[in-house]
Amino acid sequence: MSLIRSSLLVGLGSVASRILGFGRDILFAQVLGAGPVADAFLAAFRLPNLVRRIVGEGGLNPALVPALSRLEPGEAARVAGDVVSVFALGLLALSGLVEIGAGLLAFVLAPGLVDDGGTLALVALYTRLGFPMVLGVTLSSVAAALLNLRGRYGAAAFAPLIVNGGLIAVAVALEAGSTLPLPEKAAWLAAAASLAGLLQLAAMAAALPWGEGRMIAFRVPRPSPLVKSLLLAGFPALVASGAVQLFVLVGTQIASFWPSGVSWLYYADRVMQLPLGLMAAFAASVLLPQLALKHRAGEDEAVVAAQNRALELALFLALPAAAALVVLAWPIASVLFARGAFTQADAAGTARVLACLSLGLPFATVAKVLSQTLFARNHLRATLVAALIGIAVTAAASLLLAPAFGVAGIALGISLGCFAQAGVLVGSLRRLGLWSPDAALAGRAVRIACASTVMGLGLAAAAALVPRADAVVLAALCLGGLVLYGAAARLTGALTRDDIALLAKKA
């Protein structure tokens, strides 16, 4: 399958998941608002949803794909079976520990709620109900990695829709005819998340071939050196793949000291994750397997060339998206979330956070691409170091900026963490001789920046003329911005027919 066709399939699944995610979060805001119950639920939901985002965007692919691609199909199936068995046992044990220690975990997730014992107790309850989702989505991601390795992207791209679809169904039911108090509504949503995660696992299991050409062969797990190396590689791969989510998790801990801070940051992050998640899914599901094959063949020049072209695609998506989110932060927050229990004041706070958070989007997207080259070369330690430095910068910057700017200052700290991570990754690639941006990349980056600036100025002028934004106005602004960016990109040369032909070239 060609690179562009694979990218479109993965992108379609990712966009569909994000659209359902928007619908889910709109209903969350409508049902729960942004008060103490919402903060408790979203703080508890942050951890399983973080795992879901990481593994759903191919977080385990860096550990599994390069190693399994070097094995014969039969041995790869047996090793995959060992990995699934060990993961399943480990996740069951972890779930048991979380159920027992949910109170302590609640304090770690939202230390700012410690003064309100009732709210912190709700965090613990919702953590117990929602954490089993991790078991389903993690094992589903192992199956997705195997399918991606064989060039089969459909099931892996669309199975994650089950979680969001299930949560939407429950939220609609709760909002339509239920008179339950808010704490009980949140409890039903947390339990529904776990059930939906197990349904996703069932769907992925059904998508795997179990007869001739099977991808998983179960046996008594053998602690072979390869399995041990895969499990050891899994942790740094997950940390590196989910770096931005970890930055937001650190920000959430600090935001819990501000009223409604957890909710504002959650909803702003959900909007920002739409373009970032699209690039992450492409990088892990399509780009990484291609880089691994080129590395295996010893084609370093081809690896660098593929990295440069992927950076062009990343910038082509991220720069206009960041500009649009900064300019349209207020109408987006108001139209999407300001209804039911979610007030206009909450929308204003979310808009400020979204604008600051979006400044880090280009750096986060670039880091997604650069990480794949290190993953393909099995330099997981370098990606782990970059993620840890980003976490440290996020924490330090957020603590410094929050007293002056509130939750928006925490969002700025997260953006600085994204910048730091990208910078460390560039340094690592330079030391390995794998950082060589060519003239085509430099020229394209300038043209994309110019086209994004034109679009941003046009959107700002149009938004200033609108007295009050509603769904129709927001849709018109988004469509107009897309058309303007497309025209500017074509006029500046940021997008040409040759580019499309290059992306369509057979991998």
Instruction: Say yes or no to pLDDT of 28 above 90.
Output: no
Instruction: Say yes or no to pLDDT of 507 above 50.
Output: no
Q: For residue 44, give the nearest of 138, 124, 140, 151 by alpha carbon.
A: 124
* pLDDT tens-digit readout, 413-446: 999 999 999 999 999 989 988 888 888 889 989 9
Return the pLDDT at 341. Answer: 75
In this predicted model, which residue has the larger pLDDT, 500 or 425?
425
In this predicted model, which residue has the larger pLDDT, 321 or 59?
321
Instruction: Say yes or no to pLDDT of 312 above 60.
Output: yes
Instruction: Say yes or no to pLDDT of 284 above 60.
Output: no
DSSP 340: T
Return the pLDDT at 1. Answer: 46
pTM of the model: 0.75
Instruction: Say yes or no to pLDDT of 400 above 90.
Output: yes
Q: Where do the structural domains in the chain lie, given as residue ranges?
A: 3-504
Q: What Å distances lie between residue 162 and 131, 200, 240, CA to CA?
A: 17, 6, 26
Q: What Å distances lie between residue 325 and 228, 342, 350, 409, 507, CA to CA?
A: 43, 20, 12, 17, 33
Please count the other Cβ atoms lying within 10 Å of the Cβ belonging to residue 453.
15
- Tell me what percent of the residues of the chain surpass a pLDDT of 70: 79
Please count the other Cβ atoms lying within 10 Å of the Cβ belonging to residue 95.
17
Return the pLDDT at 60. Answer: 60
Instruction: Say yes or no to pLDDT of 301 above 90.
Output: no
DSSP 211: S
Tell me if residue 268 falls in helix, strand or coil.
helix
Helix axes 3-32, 261-282, angle to 10 degrees: 170
The amino acid at 283: A
* pLDDT tens-digit readout, 123-181: 899 999 998 888 888 888 777 777 766 666 666 667 778 888 888 998 888 887 667 88
